[in-house]
Structure 1
Amino acid sequence: MSPTRRSARRPLARRRVPRAAALALLLVSATACSADEWSRGGLPGAITKQAETVQNLWNGSWIAALATGVVVWGLILWSVAFHRKKKNSKDELPPQVRYNLPIEILYTVVPIIMVGVFFYFTARDQNYVNAMTGQAPVKVKVEGFQWSWRFTTDYNGKKVEVVGKPVSDYTQGPQLVLPVNQKVEFDLVSPDVIHSFWVPAFHFKRDVIPGVENKFEVDTLNKPAVYAGRCAELCGTDHSRMLFNVKLVPQAEFDQYIASQAGAQ
């Protein structure tokens, strides 16, 4: 092999090394997630029945989107493979096909059906997530203020109030204790600016607006643990420090908590 050819191949080989390394890094990153994380599509684990509904809608949306993508990519690759210009052909366009009525009906009707189905499931699940029964045994008044939270839990006529302050770690913020397997009603109020009450494990957030009393209900699952919460609306200087946590506990522990803390603040 001549020196000229060797020198020409060296830059090409050098370019391939970073590309191969980047591909290897991508593959390692893609396989770092567990099967459970992949099944959730990047969402945190659900801790309410409403969150499970949102999770199912999310998964279904991704499946539909990927199925559509596979069909579109397949058609593109098929066109590239079987309708490319032949090596020995002249500079003439391939045969042009116009006004194929069955195909035009297909690519008009199918998207309409897909959008209709997606709209139906979205509206159905949205109605379920927003439903209010007014019969929740546990009621929590959530007051978002610059820049922390006040939680007032009302259960069997006893009230427990927790007031927080700006913190840098959600574990140090005010803690909202809730029982597992119970329906909980949240009443959201604010005395100053718009905040947003967000517990990622709820797969749900709702704005806390001055002069507006927003409400929602959840049915907690039997998953005792401590979960992060934060404000999701830019509300001022210490917005990033409006952190809190939600602790799900067994019913017996919740009863003991209410009995020991009621009126203590």
Structure 2
Amino acid sequence: MPEPATEEGNRILSLWQGSWLAALIVGVLVWGLLIWAIVAYRRKEGDGMPEQTRYNVPLEILYTVAPLLMILALFYFTQRDQTILTKVDDSSSHSVNVVGWRWSWAFNYEEEGVYDVGTPGEPPVLWLPVDEKVTFELTSPDVIHSFWIPAFLMKMDVVPGRNNKFAVTPNTEGVFMGKCAELCGVDHSRMLFDVKVVTRAEFDAHIADLKERGQIGKLDSGRSEVAGVS
């Protein structure tokens, strides 16, 4: 897993590492018991037919209850963290409407009233101010896509007819890669974008630049809307 670049990322990383640790412990236990049984109860010269047993109630209860408890524990921690991570409230400093379309992305900066849009050949750049919570609203005019920023440790589907949302607080300045994580057609592999986490002053300067270029308003259907194609 990459080093988290958001405040929320540490929770996801802890869940991931905890799940792997639990799997490792179970794996070592199972393989240890398996090897022990193979070695300790291997057939030796002179051994007759081993005693045939039909069932062992305590053992069967153990290997039924133990996996059930492990699954319930994993479900609890996953559901707990998922509820926290997908909760969207009014505490965000600003919001970005992300439009996934074949085969690129458009970013509508809601409060600022400007947008940016890319193409498969010219991936767009999503600008975010550091240490400020942002809410992403994900929409699509065509097929299912998936908005994924690996360094944020967050991914969510972009589904036509639905407004999926999540919020994060970027806490590390830098440029991070983003991509579509849902196979969506012939140019799926070219649905790339960059995320640039900068200071508030740099973010404001970029917004002013978008306004100067006339990229004012909101795009609902991607590049075709810029070109005047319905």
Which TM-score band (shorter chain)?
Answer: 0.7 to 0.9
2:28 maps to 1:74: no
Moved over 6 A (4+): none
Amino acid paired to 1:206: M
Residue 47 of structure 1 contacts residue 202 of structure 1 at CA under 8 Å; is this kept in 2? yes
Residue 153 of structure 1 contacts residue 160 of structure 1 at CA under 8 Å; is this kept in 2? yes
How far residue 97 of structure 1 moved from its aligned partner, in angstroms, is 5.1
Corresponding position of 1:140: 96
Provide structure 1 residue ranges, at least 5 long, that are not aligned to the other structure: 1-42
How far residue 98 of structure 1 moved from its aligned partner, in angstroms, is 5.5
How far residue 82 of structure 1 moved from its aligned partner, in angstroms, is 1.1
Corresponding position of 2:140: 190
Amino acid paired to 1:197: F
CA separation in 1, counterparts of 2:136 and 2:3?
Answer: 21
Length, aligned pairs only: 214
How far residue 200 of structure 1 moved from its aligned partner, in angstroms, is 1.6
- 1:253 aligned to which of 196, 199, 202: 202
How far residue 89 of structure 1 moved from its aligned partner, in angstroms, is 1.2
Single out whichever of 136-145 and 118-127 deviates more from structure 2: 136-145
Q: Partner of 2:92: helix, strand, or coil?
A: coil
Amino acid paired to 1:74: G
CA separation in 2, counterparts of 1:211 and 1:120?
Answer: 30
Q: Give TM-score scaled by structure 2 length.
A: 0.84
Q: Give TM-score scaled by structure 1 length.
A: 0.74
User: 1:106-255 maps to which residues of 2 (within 5 A)?
Assistant: 106-154=62-110, 157-167=111-121, 172-221=122-171, 223-255=172-204
CA separation in 2, counterparts of 1:100 and 1:241?
Answer: 57
Give aligned-pair identity as a percent: 50
CA separation in 1, counterparts of 2:157 and 2:212?
Answer: 28
Q: Partner of 1:161: helix, strand, or coil?
A: strand
* Larger Rg belongs to: 1
What RMSD in Å do the two structures reach over aligned CA positions? 1.9
1:223-251 deviations in whole A, cap 9, x for unaligned?
A: 11111111122223222111111111123
Residue 159 of structure 1 contacts residue 263 of structure 1 at CA under 8 Å; is this kept in 2? no
Which is bigger in relative contact order (C-alpha 8 A, separation at least 6)?
Answer: 2
How far residue 99 of structure 1 moved from its aligned partner, in angstroms, is 4.5
Distance 1:70 1:261, change over 3 A: same
Corresponding position of 1:89: 46
